[in-house]
């Protein structure tokens, strides 16, 4: 059964000693959702921590400003913005697979891995659902919570540019602004400022970008060597996946990244009517209509060629 935010709030109200899990290579939505919920539950007097599989970029530090890790014996585990147990990352998967009590998510590809799930596939961000959960919990919003929700919503919509943005997205963002979300700083940190290294990485990536099918498909590659060369790292450069699709005429933008273990992953961004999650399913991945991802264990050439085949079939 798919729970609604009211039912989620009723379950959470009964629980204590809660751990909130984020997805691997945490982004603004999984972190913003986790921290908004954590702050709300702590306001109710509950003991709550959040856990990440990977290091988190320092630009997100304001999300947990003023919070300390609490000491308790964990009794209830919540996953936010996580479609499959694979996406927990290796360490968290090892520890929590099969033991997650509640999943709050907006990926239509959610595999229903948790005991209870609240899945709203039409939400632009998991943070939209978290907003309604907190409202149902009856906790009063403060500026920090509003900033957390706003971060989730703005990052998953590319600052309200992507097609997942709905009237409800703007509505909730408006309420967050009114409740004290620091939208100016968040927008600047998330969408405006880049380091010289990041710009240099973009330059090298664009130089090597290849086009196929009359420029309808663009494939860019980022290697570990390129991170080294520019002094950047993967968690700093999330936004880069949206660049290939920015090209006029491109319907499918693929950004392939080499992982530290030598395997590859790809972010796929599409324009309508092309379904990014359908493309990624051919690789065992998934996601949303216009943004999805997958991993691959073979060589870079094999990965590229398979994309050319799969995308050729849907174009």
Binding residues (CB under 5 A) for Mn ion: these are 29, 81, 126, 156
C-alpha atoms less than 13 angstroms from C-alpha of 234 in its C-beta half-sphere: 21
What would the DSSP string read from start to end of 116-129? Answer: EEEE-TT-SSHHHH
- The smaller minimum CB distance to Mn ion, of residues 81 and 236, is found at 81
Quote the CA–CA distance of 102 and 8 in Å, as a whole number: 8
Instruction: Give the residue nearest to Mn ion (CB).
Output: 29
- The smaller minimum CB distance to Mn ion, of residues 81 and 234, is found at 81
Quote the CA–CA distance of 19 and 1 in Å, as a whole number: 23
Q: Which residues contact 94 (CB under 8 A, 6 or more apart)?
A: none
- In the complex, least distance from residue 106 CB atom to Mn ion, rounded to whole angstroms: 6
- In the complex, least distance from residue 19 CB atom to Mn ion, rounded to whole angstroms: 19
- The smaller minimum CB distance to Mn ion, of residues 126 and 221, is found at 126
Q: Which residues contact 42 (CB under 8 A, 6 or more apart)?
A: 48, 67
User: What are residue 254's DSSP bridge partners?
Assistant: 219, 268
- In the complex, least distance from residue 156 CB atom to Mn ion, rounded to whole angstroms: 5
- In the complex, least distance from residue 287 CB atom to Mn ion, rounded to whole angstroms: 9
- In the complex, least distance from residue 120 CB atom to Mn ion, rounded to whole angstroms: 11
- The smaller minimum CB distance to Mn ion, of residues 154 and 255, is found at 154
Quote the CA–CA distance of 108 and 279 in Å, as a whole number: 14
- The smaller minimum CB distance to Mn ion, of residues 26 and 253, is found at 26
């Amino acid at each position: 059964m798919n729970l609604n935010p009211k039912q989620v709030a009723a379950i959470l109200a009964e629980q204590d000693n809660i751990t909130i899990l984020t997805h691997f290579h945490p982004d603004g939505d999984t972190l913003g959702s986790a921290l908004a919920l954590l702050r709300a539950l702590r306001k109710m007097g509950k003991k709550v921590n959040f856990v990440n599989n990977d290091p988190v970029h320092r630009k997100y530090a304001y999300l947990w400003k003023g919070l300390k890790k609490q000491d308790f014996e964990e009794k209830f585990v919540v996953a936010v913005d996580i479609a499959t147990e694979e996406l927990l990352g290796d360490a968290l998967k090892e520890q929590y697979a099969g033991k997650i009590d509640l999943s709050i998510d907006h990926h239509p590809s959610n595999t229903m891995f948790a005991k209870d799930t609240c899945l709203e596939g039409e939400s632009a961000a998991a943070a939209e659902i978290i907003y309604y959960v907190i409202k149902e919990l009856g906790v009063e919003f403060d500026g920090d919570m509003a900033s957390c929700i706003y971060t989730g919503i703005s990052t998953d919509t590319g600052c309200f540019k992507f097609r997942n943005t709905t009237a409800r997205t703007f509505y909730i963002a408006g309420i967050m602004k009114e409740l004290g979300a620091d939208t100016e700083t968040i927008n600047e940190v998330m969408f405006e400022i880049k380091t010289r290294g990041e710009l240099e990485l973009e330059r090298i990536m664009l130089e090597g970008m290849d086009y196929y099918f009359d420029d309808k498909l663009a494939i860019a590659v980022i290697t570990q060597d390129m991170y080294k060369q520019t002094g950047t790292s993967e968690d700093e450069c999330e936004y880069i996946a949206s660049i290939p699709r920015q090209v006029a005429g491109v319907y499918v933008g693929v950004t392939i990244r080499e992982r530290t273990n030598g395997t590859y992953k790809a972010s796929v961004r599409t324009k309508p009517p092309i379904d990014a999650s359908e493309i990624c399913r051919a690789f065992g991945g998934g996601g949303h209509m216009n943004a999805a991802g997958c991993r691959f264990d073979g060589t870079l050439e094999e990965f590229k060629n398979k994309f050319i085949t799969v995308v050729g079939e849907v174009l």
